[in-house]
Structure 1
């Protein structure tokens, strides 16, 4: 080949490389970046709706129409027929039924992060995983130390949770003034936190096991795996199998929402027969979860009657202080101290653009434990008085953590000016 022809060949090869790089970048944006951006946008709006629903529930439960509120969520109805009929009150249909979709979406997010997101690289995942672990263990220990035994100690899992919608929503509202690494770090911690919360619910907050029903539910999950391996792309076989798995999980004593978690984790994260199944499901179901299911859940569970001397009783209650201190002190110190130890020892490094001062703001925001904390409260207590005291502790701890975290991050952005995104 002549030397005169070489520049043309090199140019052609360079163009081909550029085309491949652009195509690869487009795939990364379609499969990783866009889902994350869509997630953050939905969580921001969802957080606003969640707050509005919680305020509405509190106002309704403390109004002259409070009896209507409690009667509404106590209405019973059933679904199914004969031996497969399930009857429960409206609040438990929300908590056991609709919240299965919420946990299914959470599992989809976990699967995406593990396969294509920030948690796919063990070294990158090490720091948020360790930080989340510190933010789970210390709150539970503080709670148990303050409550000091008795029936109230059953709620030790309540201060372990972080509400992604509220926490990510606060960070998103701060916009470009915060480095992208801060958002990534908080999101990673919240997702690992969800993994731990799901394990805790399945292990410690399920009822006596029915071995036959559990075996049938597991057989249903195996059927889903076989359908996928057989290349079945139609939706209806998976929908029928999913309904059966939910029913037998509900009958087994394991909390029914765990069926949603298992099905979400079995969803293929990479293209299946030419379809981005996980991405499509997430795009369709995440708005439903964030804009409809979670606000309904808050409306059903946040209605605590604060009239009379309820706040005075809460202030004198070990349960209230255990939940509130577990959230604020446990989350902030647990995440902050573990992150400090991990970075100083070289086990992990902070994301680009994030300083250790940001860690304290993120750790305080993680104390917003609204949704999953309320969910665990419903599982932990059958005594309405204990449940209400725990919910008041959740409200107080989440509010204080949210204010501390927001104030810290706002103060840092004002001191440092606009940081690169």
Structure 2
């Protein structure tokens, strides 16, 4: 099986982006626990226009990240691995298991408590980190495993978007929501009228983001809606969708996501930080990402194949699927993002972030070691 140029470009971009994310995280943690700790943390809390710098990154720049996710998802649905039900079925089953089982394990420990709202945290997979770790294994990784993990992570992102929209919307300002959706409808009309110039869509996207921000629904959802309003056409290099997707890859991978990582991992780790890991919330995150992800992905894929609803690629073994499931436990970006939506308590947020970092490190290490020994050297 040969990789298409678009997929190969995407894979290489996420590979480099994952390594940069790791560096940004370590740098931020180091500075947050150095002699400049107070000034460093205060900088990210500096208010600009009634919102902190971190808030602008999370609600503003991350909308661009979700725009890219939407464009990639659209391409996968129309022309990529999700365009064929035969190819899409296995990662779809895996993604479902990788969301349901971790959330179930989290709720097993947190149902009925003040932290039950965090069930969405261990459902997420960080595509950049997961592919970054997989890339360290070099040419021993079968093409079908790269495609499976990427499609799985894309479906996972879709699931996270739905979870954010449905479960993390507290109050709705219907007038603002109506205006935002009206702008979206107008952009869809422009699409149907075959308006191919990107400028009207980008201007409309800014207005849609503003009213969505003030509607109560998280503003980053705007990015996904805008992606599906932008003309896809035949998906060729000359189309608006391809042009924007290609343009956004590097700014997102090398600026927006590292900036998000730096701003959201400036965590002052106290001497008693390990005590927070014994809380049911932290245990739920650790259990969900490290155990729930590979268990859910493996069981649901096996179920799908056993029922004849999907097929395991010939060059893959079940051990490879389990290894990919372990890498799926690298939550990081999306897990931290959902944490910020789920909780208001600063201590709970800090404990959750520490649990996410530890779980992602353990899951990534386990996945790397497992696949290193289960994949034959070419």
Tell me, what secondary structure is at the counterpart of 1:151?
coil
**CA RMSD, Structure 1 to Structure 2 (Å):** 1.6
Q: Can you list the C-alpha shifts for 1:225-251, whole angstroms capped at 9, x where unaligned?
A: 122222323332222211100000001
1:185, 1:351 within 8 Å by CA — same for their partners in 2? no
Native 8 Å contact 1:271 1:277 kept in 2 = no
The CA distance in 1 between the partners of 2:337 and 2:314, in whole Å, is: 35
Q: Report if aligned partners of 2:124, 2:331 keep a CA contact under 8 Å in 1.
A: yes
2:40 is aligned to 69
Query: What residue is the counterpart of 2:5 in the other structure?
Result: 34
Cα distance in structure 1, aligned partners of 2:75 and 2:196: 20
Residue 270 of structure 1: CA displacement?
2.5
Q: Does 1:131 align with 2:102?
A: no
**Contact kept in structure 1, 2:198 and 2:230, CA below 8 Å:** no
The 5 A counterparts of 1:4-403 are 33-78=4-49, 87-271=50-234, 275-311=238-274, 313-403=275-365
Distance in 1 separating the partners of 2:236 and 2:36: 53
Gaps of 5+ in 2: none
When the two structures are aligned, how many residues end up with a matched partner? Answer: 377
8 Å contact kept, 1:231–1:273: no
Q: Check conservation: 2:201, 2:230, Cα contact below 8 A.
A: no
Q: Contact 1:374–1:394 (CA<8 Å) still a contact in 2?
A: yes
Distance in 1, Cα, partners of 2:237 & 2:219 = 32
C-alpha contact 2:196 2:240 (8 A) present in aligned 1: no
Distance 2:69 2:160 in 1: 11
Check 1:356–1:98 CA distance in 2 against 1; reply closer, same or farther (3 A cut). Answer: same
Q: Which residue of 1 aligns with 2:372?
A: 410
Cα 1:91–1:103 change in 2 (3 A) is same
Q: Secondary structure at the match of 2:238?
A: coil
Normalization by structure 1: what TM-score? Answer: 0.87
Instruction: Kindly name which structure, 1 or 2, has the bigger radius of gyration based on alpha carbons.
Output: 1
Shift of 1:200: 0.3
CA distance in 2, matches of 1:236, 1:133: 37
Q: Measure the CA separation in 2 of the matches of 1:262 and 1:193.
A: 17
